[in-house]
Structure formats: C-alpha cells, structure tokens
Structure 1
Amino acid sequence: MSRDRVGPTVAVAALLVLAGCAGVPLGGSGDTTASPTGADDPGTPDGSPSAPVENTVAVENGTLPVNATLTYARVQALMGSDTDPWPVRVRNLSEWRASVQRVGASPLNRALGFENVSTDWSEPTGVTVNGAVYVHPGDGSPEKTERVLAHEFAHLVQYRTTMLPWQGRLSQPRPTTDWRNTRRALSEGGAVFVADAYADRYLGVQSNSAYARGLYRNGSATYRSALAPYVFGSQYVAHRIDDPANLSAAYETYPRTTEQVVHNETPAEEPPANLSVRASGSDSWTYLGNNTLGELATRAALDTELDRERAAAAASGWGDDRLTIFRNATDESRYGWVWVMRWDNESETDELRAALLDYTYVRGQNSDAAFGYRKLDDTTVAVVFGDPGFTARADVRATDDDVSVSVDES
C-alpha cells in the first residue's frame, strides 16, 4: 500500500508537432543566405542599416531561405537580450514523425479515445534542443520558415538566459502529465508571444497565435491536445505582459497547474483542491503508481467523445485528480485505471457528472475497454476503465480524509 507513490509517467496525447517541439509554421521575411553576416539594424521594421549585427548564426547541414543572423538579431532586440546564439541545423526531423503518428499505440491514450494522427510535414518545422536549433523548411515559403525560426530563437533566449524559473533547480515536482503540460504551456506560450511580436513588426503573415488557434478549432481532439499548450500558454503570457522585453515577468509567481494557465491564475489564486488517494494492488493486478492529468488533459479526454464546448465546460471546475495505474501480473498487455477527480464545488461537479456519464457510455461502445462511472461524494467522482477483468474487481471508496482504490480478488 502506498500514498501518492510515484510510478511511471503515462502522458495523455503528448504529441511533438509544433514549433519548439517539432513544428507549427511560424514566420517570414524573404531574406536569403545560409550563414549571412549582414549589417541591417534588427530594431528597424524596414531593415534599414544603422547598427552592426553581432552574433553571426552558423547554419549547418544545408541552407535556409531566410537570413538567420538577421532574424536572431531582431529576436534579441525584441526580447532585450544579448546572448550568443546556437547553430541552426537544417534537418527534416523525421525522428519525430513516428511519435506523432502513433499516439494511439499507448494503452492509456487508446483507451481514452485518442487516435493516431497525420501531420503535414511539408510545412516548416523546428525544435530547439541540446544546444542547437533544428529547422526543416519543407515546402513552405520563406515567410513561414522565418516565423518558425523566430519562435525557435525565442526558445534559445529562454534557455540561454535561464529565463524559465524551473531551469537548473535541484528539487523538482514529480513529472506528472499536468506538470509537464503546465511547463510546456509557459515555455511555448512565451515563444508564441515573441513570434507574434516579430510577425507584427517584420512580416506580413498571420501571427503564430492566430495560426495555432485556427488549427485548434479545426483539428481533431487528439491534435487539439497537442495545440492546447500553445493556445492557452500564449493567452496566459499575453494576459501578464505587453512587451517581449518583459517576458521574464510572465514567469513570476508562475502557474503550477494547467488550470491556473487556462484561467490566468497564480498558484495563490487557484490552488489545487485537497485530494489524497491511497491505492493497493492484488496478486492479479499490480499497482504501478499514479499520475495527475490536470484540466487540459481532462478536457482533451472528454473532447474525444463529446462536443468540444461541452468538454471544456465540464473540465473547467477541475480541482485535482489522480489516475491510478494497474497492470495484470501475468499478462503485461492488460491494464486497468481508476481516475479519481475532485471538483471545486458541488454545482460544477453536477456538470461534470452528466458529461462523464455520456463520455463513459460512448467510450464503452467505441472501445474494447470497459468503462464505469462512480460517484464518491458531492465533489469527488471516479472513472474505472480498462481491462474488463480489472473493472469488475476495482473498488473505489471515499472517506472524510482520502480516497482508497483497491482490487478485490474474489
């Protein structure tokens, strides 16, 4: 038996499909050269010369249809930074393609209704990692490639200046899905905010945030789960600051949950609800650990079977959750889960209950997994799902202090 024991991280639809994590189209200028050393002033919208451009950006493994050095200088000017660049490496990033297209291969994702997706790899793509910026221009225009590059350079400045407040900390929260999505939203939201300012000043193309919102509205539930950190992260940053040079201020008293990101709240304004879940396995079902999915992942899961607006409304009362994870002791392909959710108040729980009843019914019809809904108290509910042999034996009970999850062998 264990209380909130750290188990394997089981992420919900953790797709790497956007710039900063491998690809939304972002920018544009039309300047060309692989490794330029131009002298255009990064602070003048028309690029007229008035000051030398320092920090030449090395472009490796190919050429780009944009001036990487000028783009970096402009981003630095917008952000008020003066840090050395990393090289830009031209690469098609095909190693990310399999993870994007096989989201449904995860047992949890498949059970919750997330499906494999396809992405348009002809669009410019970027990722900033391990001391380099990787860019794949694809078949996109120079403008779109530059938009990607501006987004990635914003990440570069974030990392090189240790702007993200959790960088380098020896003590980190356990890596739940909600924790990862929160930090991704803040990191990507900052880069989107900078890329928006860049496009407004230097480019005649759609902003990064507008592009992401369009994809979010029109995409599948699975694709929306990947876009959500960009959409809500950029909204949060825009709510906090009005100038890319003040980006670091957006990370003061920064959110610790996706609920706080979505609703533009600080940790003090909207702390998670008290929720303690004790879980224990049995001879047949091994308890692996637990995860916290958070408001964004809850919305995404409901979105797989319900109307998008209804899913959002139902998830908006999120207070806290625990997903307890079990695996069959003799057949490791069989899993079971108990997802305990606590909402902020009783009226919001009523809306969630109605949504969950419909969601669990439809998922049970559309899945090989079994689904069951349990009301535990006025603000606490649970969804038991997975292998039918597990769901028939899972026992979930609420007391005054906590929730217990166990598996009955009888």
Structure 2
Amino acid sequence: MGRYLQQLGLCLLVVALVTAGCQAPVADAGSGGTTTPATTPNENGTISGAAPNITVLNGSLELDPGEVFARVQHVSGSNVTAPTAVRVFDTSDEFYNSTPTGLGPNTLPRFWRVAGVETDPVNSSALEIQKNGYVTGTGAVTIYLNPNTTVADERLLLAHEFTHYIQIQENQQAQLNGELDGRTTQSAYVRRALVEGAAVFTTDAYVREYAPGEQLNSPWYDEIQASYPAGHVGQFQNGRYVHGYDYVAERVDSPTELGDVYENPPRTGEQLLHHLAPGNEQPTDLMVDSTTGDDWVASGTDRMGEPFVRYALASDVGTERAARAATGWGNDSLHVFRPIDGGNASYVWVLNWDDQANASEFEQTLRAALDARGNATDGTWSLSDSDAAAAITEVDEETTAVAFGSETFVATTTITGSDSSVSIETE
C-alpha cells in the first residue's frame, strides 16, 4: 500500500500507503468511465490478447491502467485477477478524506522525540504533495494526481500501486507478517521496507522494459531522503523505501525472484541495512527485567533496531557518525514506565553491542548527542528540546543503558547487570 507525503514535513507514516510518483493533466474519461481495452505482453514480452478492462472512477487517466497492470504482471511473473477499478483524485483533500479509517499521519511516540529524532516541519519542494496512492487490504486501488502530474509520473504511480495490489492478492504481505516476529518498531520497519522496496524494485524493472529512458522510481526516494535534515522522522520513514530497495536490489536480479525475499526476509534492521542474509548476524542474547516501586508501573516493551539508533543520533552528530555508532548493534530492549499518579512516561533503553569497541563508540557518540541537546550536571543531562532528563549507564563492556524521562525517574532508577542480563529497578 502507499504512504502519505506531507508538504511541510512531518512525514510520519506508520500507515499502509505508498506513493510512487504520479501527476498528469489527463484526458477526461469521465466519472465512472472505462478505459479502452489494450494489449498485454505474453511470457516472451510480445503483445497478444486484450489487457484487463479496469474502470477509472471519479477522475481520469492518460494511460490505460489495464495495459499497465498487464505489464506489471509480466515483469513480476504473477498471475492474479486484475482490480476492477482504479479510483482517481485530483485534489489532496479529497484523496485524504477517501482513506480508510486509521490511515494518515500518526502522532509521533513521545520516546522518539526524547531519544533525539527530529520532528520540526520542513520546507522543501521535493516534499510537496504531487502524487500519492494506496491499496486497501481488500484490493481497492486509489491514487492522487495533482494538476502538474506528467504521464511518466502517472506510469510510476500506477505500476507501484499495482505491485502492492499483487502483493496483497498473492498474500505476500501476510507472509511477511508471519515471518517477522512480534509487533516491535524494528519488525514493523523491516516489514514495510521489504513491501516498499519490492514495489520500487518492480516499478524500476517495469520502466526499464516498457518506458526506457524515463526516470525510475528509486531516485525519487533518494531525492526525498536528501531533502530532510539529518535525523528527521521523515528520513526514518522514507528510509524504508531507500533501504528496502537497496536490500532487494542486492539480493535478487529480477522481480520474478522476490518470492525468496518474502519467504526468507531479513529479521533485523541490521540485516536490512547491511544487506545480510537472514541467518547472518543474529541478535545477541539480551535479557532485561524490571522491578517497580510504589510510584511507577511497567507499561510496555519494544525493540527499536539499528535504523532507529542511526536516525535518533543523526540530527545531533551527523549522518556519517551516527551510522558508524549504530553499526555493531547486537540487540536492544526499550522499557516504558508510567507514573502511578499520571503524567508522561519515562524510559530505559538497553542496547547490547557486538563487542566492546562498538559499545564504546556508541556511548561516546550518544554522549556527544546529549551534549548537543542540553547541559549535563553530575552525569545527568537536562534536554531542552524534549522536556526530559537523561543519564547513561555502562552496564558491562558490551551493554549500554540510557534512562530518559523525569528528573526524579532518572535520578532514582538503578540499572545493573552483566553478561547481557540486565535488571532495572525504580524506587
């Protein structure tokens, strides 16, 4: 499915939408009009027979969606029933109002801000809403084309969204859900990166075969990535397209081979970022338990993953240093604590590293990032950008923990352990 791209920046899209690139002053097919049957390529790539007749609802398209779908099927090696219709909007308000309940910009989890992810609005022409689309779980395809959309953009968007439609019809997205354990931030990131990366990869293959010389899909996401400041939440979210595409392109030569990626996906953000096979660099052993006193209650855990570490540090130390510090990630465990009498949550984030050198580099980089965000007194930082305090604990040579939250929580929480076994105790 697709994703929302907002003009001024908070492109936090923990939703099921993808945009591939689409705009065009289009020929009027009329509301509810149908496309002219075209031809579909056979297994040898030549033309024979009629393409599926896909109805265009609400707006109009320059291209025949049936022909585009048939060609995407050929490139991907799939054989599913075509969608009956494509719904087209030419205003962003209508498009966003059309989305299913729950799809849209989400509220950013507080921990993301506390950990250092940049959230300020961004002004950039590359982030203007130009094209967008989504596919629902039932296979309904919807796209948005603003008045400046070109035929090439329209082609990218249709091919991208039809790839998502095929993924749903062939249960490939559901297959990834089954292969990726849990509902953690890391597993959600990896899953979405593979769904989007496969769509970008397939769309590029479609363009190379049927529209040679036109812009590919993948450079558009690189442009978006470069338009955000380092460590912006938009970079983290858009990174799923960039890193997902890079992983898929490294692992397979053709969209027809993507079945192996769906069946044997990377399990961690580390494997995704570094193009590792699922069996390589397994997460290290990390056991974390917590004991709360009368004032706090443990309210949840999460695993953030190497991509989150990278982008959380980047806004304060730069992209390259953040990437170096995040490399060597072994495992992590985020624990959330809420005050009994109400108020903001506090957090303990425990990170285990492949070796002492990686742990040391991360800790030094984290200290530099916290120094950039606030003043330290007796080992505790007051972070002016998130109304929170922070303190680092070196649990052992390969394990680092950082407490974020109220000054009372940070001052009275004890973190101890060794050999990747960590205990958190709040007074």
TM-score range, shorter chain: 0.7 to 0.9
2:96 is matched with 94
2:21 is matched with 25
1:398 is matched with 417
* Kept after mapping to 1: 8 A contact 2:22/2:144: no
Q: CA deviation at 1:361?
A: 2.3
1:7 is matched with none
1:9 is matched with none
1:162-241 matches, cutoff 5 A: 162-164=171-173, 166=175, 169=178, 173-203=181-211, 204-220=213-229, 221-241=232-252
Q: Distance in 2 between matches of 1:159 and 1:57?
A: 18
Deviates more, 1:155-164 or 1:282-291: 155-164
Q: CA deviation at 1:134?
A: 1.5
The structure 2 residue matched to 1:137, chosen from 145, 154, 158, is 145
Matched residue SS, 2:333: strand
Aligned CA distance change for structure 1 residues 27 and 266 (closer, same or farther; 3 Å): farther
* Kept after mapping to 1: 8 A contact 2:176/2:262: no
The structure 1 residue matched to 2:60, chosen from 59, 63, 68, is 63
Q: CA deviation at 1:30?
A: 8.1
Q: CA deviation at 1:202?
A: 2.7
2:134 is matched with 127
Q: CA deviation at 1:165?
A: 6.5
Aligned CA distance change for structure 1 residues 295 and 401 (closer, same or farther; 3 Å): closer
Q: Distance in 2 between matches of 1:222 and 1:26?
A: 24
Q: Distance in 2 between matches of 1:168 and 1:178?
A: 13
2:396 is matched with 377
* Kept after mapping to 1: 8 A contact 2:204/2:217: yes
The structure 1 residue matched to 2:112, chosen from 89, 94, 109, is 109
Matched residue SS, 1:52: strand
Q: CA deviation at 1:308?
A: 0.7
Matched, 1:264 2:278: no
Q: CA deviation at 1:340?
A: 0.4
Matched residue SS, 2:111: helix
Amino acid at match of 1:37: T
Deviates more, 1:118-127 or 1:213-222: 118-127
Q: Distance in 2 between matches of 1:37 and 1:318?
A: 54
Residues 54-94 of structure 1 show CA distances to partners (whole Å, capped at 9, x for unaligned) of 33223223223332111111101111112112232224432
Q: Distance in 1 between matches of 2:194 and 2:269?
A: 10
Residues 150-199 of structure 1 show CA distances to partners (whole Å, capped at 9, x for unaligned) of 11111111111123472585x97220000101111111111110011122
Matched residue SS, 1:55: coil
Q: Distance in 2 between matches of 1:280 and 1:80?
A: 53
* Kept after mapping to 1: 8 A contact 2:132/2:145: yes
Q: CA deviation at 1:29?
A: 12
Q: CA deviation at 1:289?
A: 1.5
Q: Distance in 2 between matches of 1:127 and 1:111?
A: 31
Tell me the C-alpha RMSD between the 2 structures: 3.0
Q: Distance in 2 between matches of 1:168 and 1:68?
A: 29
1:35 is matched with 34
1:280 is matched with 291
Matched, 1:367 2:414: no
1:334 is matched with 344
Matched, 1:352 2:352: no
* Kept after mapping to 2: 8 A contact 1:32/1:66: no
Aligned CA distance change for structure 1 residues 314 and 35 (closer, same or farther; 3 Å): farther
Q: Distance in 2 between matches of 1:177 and 1:228?
A: 14
Matched residue SS, 2:289: strand
Aligned CA distance change for structure 1 residues 32 and 43 (closer, same or farther; 3 Å): farther
Amino acid at match of 1:36: T
Q: CA deviation at 1:386?
A: 1.6
Which structure carries more relative contact order (alpha carbon 8 Å, separation 6+)? 1
* Kept after mapping to 1: 8 A contact 2:25/2:150: no
Q: CA deviation at 1:272?
A: 0.4
Q: CA deviation at 1:238?
A: 0.8
Q: CA deviation at 1:400?
A: 3.4
More strand by share: 2
Amino acid at match of 2:34: S
Residues 214-271 of structure 1 show CA distances to partners (whole Å, capped at 9, x for unaligned) of 2212313221101111111111111111111222123342211111111111231110
What TM-score, normalized to structure 2?
0.83
Deviates more, 1:57-66 or 1:134-143: 57-66
1:248 is matched with 259
1:81 is matched with 78
Deviates more, 1:371-380 or 1:357-366: 357-366
The alignment-based identity, stated in percent, is 30
Matched, 1:72 2:74: no
Unaligned runs of 5+ in 2: 1-9, 374-382
* Kept after mapping to 1: 8 A contact 2:23/2:150: no
